[in-house]
Amino acid sequence: MRVLGVDPGLTRCGVGVVDGAPGKPLHLVHVEVIRTSPDADIAERLLGIERGIEALLDEHAPDAVAVERVFAQHNVSTVMGTAQAGAIAIVAAARRGLPVALHTPSEAKAAVTGNGSAGKAQVTMMVTRLLRLPAAPRPADAADALALAICHVWRGGAQARLEAARRAAGWTGGRR
């Protein structure tokens, strides 16, 4: 399974593509940070992120897209930019009919380190080890995007099968 992981952000949007399957070695395909200028108009910044994600979808043809779920932050402008950048990734994937999964930061941390409250240094170290990289991906947004992709490779397939079985059985969260 090839997964594009997206750590959304308006100034720095981490993106990483990983190939793998549960129980098999993981392989780094691509990692980068899409950057936009804080001085640019919001529409131009979002368009820049959209162009970058579309180019990655074209070039690397992932099977799924994993986006960090936005959580409440004290700075409203930061959470708004993060949510807007995440929405760009979701729309780009949906336009192509790709499955999209939202993973919390805790889920991604737990997947790669075994600890949902791990620090950025520990996440970066484990991503580097799991992908057998000669150097740590920088900045942290890049490592976080790879952690999201790894999380989905390992957990997403099972989640998708479980959800498909629930739909086939007519399960609607406790009500039929």
CATH number, position 109: 3.30.420.10
Catalytic site residue from 32, 58, 59, 68: 68
Find out whether 68 is annotated in a ligand binding site.
yes
Report the distance separating Cα 155 and Cα 126, nearest Å.
17
Percentage of residues in the chain having pLDDT higher than 90: 80
Residue 11 domain-assigned?
yes
pLDDT, position 175: 47
Residue 176 domain-assigned?
no
pLDDT, position 18: 98
Report the distance separating Cα 99 and Cα 47, nearest Å.
22
pLDDT, position 55: 98
Residue 64 domain-assigned?
yes
The reply to whether 68 belongs to the active site is yes
Residue 46 domain-assigned?
yes
Report the distance separating Cα 150 and Cα 156, nearest Å.
9
Report the distance separating Cα 152 and Cα 112, nearest Å.
11
pLDDT, position 176: 44
Residue 157 domain-assigned?
yes
Residue 120 domain-assigned?
yes
Whether this prediction's pTM lies above 0.85 is answered by: yes
| Structure tokens, 143 | 């490592």
Q: What's the domain range around 162?
A: 2-168
Run of H or E residues at 34: strand 27-35
The reply to whether 39 belongs to the active site is no
Find out whether 7 is annotated in a ligand binding site.
yes
Q: What is the tally of structural domains in the chain?
A: 1
pLDDT, position 163: 61
pLDDT, position 19: 98
The reply to whether 41 belongs to the active site is no
pLDDT digits (tens, 9 = 90+) for 101-153: 999 999 999 999 999 999 999 999 999 999 999 999 999 999 999 999 999 99
For helices 105-113 and 140-168, give the axis angle rounded to 10 degrees. 100
Residue 174 domain-assigned?
no
Find out whether 144 is annotated in a ligand binding site.
no
Catalytic site residue from 19, 107, 141, 144: 141
Identify the band that residue 77 occupies on the pLDDT scale cut at 50, 70 and 90: confident
Residue 173 domain-assigned?
no
